[in-house]
Homo-oligomer: A and B are copies of this chain.
């Protein structure tokens, strides 16, 4: 006899799952229904090696073997991605009542992944610009290689640029999984839908949030805890959130946004503007403007006068 009432708990869990599936209108299936987080993570790790073989690939790799490594790793990663893409396409088709399966599904998945693959060289170029931006923008950076090897902002952008292509190719679930892998690792939460120009540098990065419809120009610098968010969530007549409309900021080229700044709504931050730390922006900012917090009054007391102090812990 088990020390634990396993069969009873299994039955109760089955019951709860049946409730859920009933509510969600799910039917039984013998298929794999959902992409696998582990499979996606392995594919993305392989693609990181394909993009930066000597710095993010296997330690034993040398220059002479780069192309062999890339060809095989790319081939394997694309096969794996195609499998996951077919799962997502099939899942969506099933939920949308479309008839996409068998050969047609396989062809569609192949086509989508082929387009993805062809974007990789361009991605590497954009990422190289990001790396240079980080090197030139951080007084603590010793070399471009240190940047690729250890800067979380670069890691987040590698994931984002991959995720964004998947998003454009209408694989939003895979795209989101790729983005969340970076979010978990870096604390930088960029929605795959966001459009980010080359030469982007996100420093420190923890707490950065960039929304789905945000647009960021070239050579933009962003510090930790910056939010590019929505200001309102309008609902339709049935009370459901309206999805997909432009609700996040547009940040033009050469803007700098310092730590903790919050920019909300479909506002435009003009070219070359600088947004100071902790500033809260909900309206357009003209090009080249410097926005800072007006000096906040602070109370400085010295004991014994100091009363109880509000703490945040």
Contact = CB atoms under 8 A, between A and B. Distances in A.
A187 interface: yes
Query: DSSP class of A's interface residues: helix, strand, loop or mixed?
Result: mixed
B309 A290 contact: yes
Assign chain A's interface to a size class: 35 or more
B280 A302 contact: no
Interface string A1-37: 1111111011011111101100010001111111111
Interface centre among A3, A31, A264, by most chain B C-beta atoms within 10 angstroms, is A3
Given A68-B71, A172-B142, A310 B265 contact: yes
B10 A74 contact: yes
17 contacts: A4-B75, A6-B71, A9-B121, A34-B54, A37-B56, A68-B74, A71-B72, A138-B313, A146-B176, A189-B205, A224-B227, A259-B262, A259-B313, A290-B299, A292-B298, A292-B309, A293-B299
Contacts of A75: 2, 4, 6, 64-65, 68-69
Contact of A150 (B91, B139, B180, B286): B180
